[in-house]
Amino acid sequence: MPVNIPPFPSDVPVADISTVDFDLLSKGDPEQAQILLNSCQNYGFFYLSNHHVDSRFMFNLADAVFSLPLDEKLKYDMGTTGHYFGYKRSGAMFVDDKGTKDHSEFYNVSKDEVLGIQQSASSTGTSSSTPLKHDHPQVVLDRFGELTTFMRSCHSVIYTITASLGKSLGLSEGLLESLHKLERPSVDQARVTCAPPIKPSGTITLGEHTDFGSVTVLFNQLGGLQVLAPNKRDWEYVRPRPECAVINLGDSLITLLGGRLYSAVHRVVAPPGEQGDSVRHSVVYFSRPNSEVKLRDLFEHPSENDVAKLEKSSGEILLNADDWVKQRAKNWNTAQYKDKNSYKLSRGTEHNRGY
């Protein structure tokens, strides 16, 4: 994390996204609920102020992880088959239809592992439930206590956002939150990222995509995040605001809400202006529906009985939340790239609307 952050330039296009006050939203403030709804119908991105999530230690974790020798980091490589925890080296994903390799490192840590959440027998392939366990470098293991606090704080934000959106859209009270329970198995994860200084400014470091899950909570100090402006093909920067988290919705939530909100198409490029001379770290929490949740329109099929009837009548088995994430993660991997169709497979649901 840069000690002295260079100024964000004033001569680049910036997305006009709104700010939601978390304190007021959590108290049921109708004005904030409307700002939230409008934001999720427009850009699918918004700033969140007064969020009470301390992300500072996560930037220190990023420094510690990415300072490790490459051969040490590769011991924890997440691979190419859709496994999505551990280390992702630079170049493991592609950014465009030519198969150009990305320039970002990731390290992903499972919410279930950090919180000690028992995994179902069906998800582990064993005869009984068991805790999730991955190998990690010591610099990660030493911070599990702080990761616990970070994950719980982020999940509090996500509960409040999903509760407000569910109410605004007319879903049954508590339905959306019941599919995102902290104590139930899911592929939620905390992530730290690292991208080195790259010239020229605007070089794509992470290709355009929509997020896989429900709600993403992001913290960064440097520019580089760009969002595709609604109803246009213009990329606009999301200006970093250190006092705010940046929130966006993902495809799983959009599917559950029957396409009533917007999962923003976004990408990451080398930071503009003087910021481009700095290493870019970011901190993210990705929430996903609980593992067993079948992805469907909750307005049409709210209950598990409705899902069973739908699958019987259609003759198709719906993807659950875990399988959806695994499919998306696998399709984005450089090892899966063959041609332009590979790039199409890596993109999310909003691309089906012509974005």
In order, the DSSP letters of 184-226 are: S-B--EEEEEEE---SSTT-EEEEEE--SSSEEEEEESS--EE
Greater confidence, 198 or 354?
198
54 residue type, one letter: D
| DSSP state at residue 74 | G
* Closest alpha carbon to 31 in 41, 45, 43, 19: 19
- C-alpha 317/C-alpha 165 separation (Å) is 27
- Tell me the per-residue pLDDT of 29-80, one tens digit each, with 9 for 90 and over: 999 999 999 999 998 999 999 999 999 999 999 999 999 999 999 999 988 7
pTM: 0.93
Q: Contact 217/154 with Cβ under 8 angstroms? A: yes
For residue 349, the model assigns a pLDDT of 60
Cβ-based neighbours of 316, under 8 Å, separated by 6 or more: none
Q: Contact 324/82 with Cβ under 8 angstroms? A: no
19-350 is classed CATH 3.40.50.12500: no
Mark 23-48 as b/e (b = at least 16 C-beta within 10 Å). Answer: ebbbeebeebbebbbebbebbbbbbb
**Interval 205-216 mean pLDDT:** 92
What average pLDDT does the structure give for the chain? 90
- C-alpha 76/C-alpha 88 separation (Å) is 9
For residue 122, the model assigns a pLDDT of 54
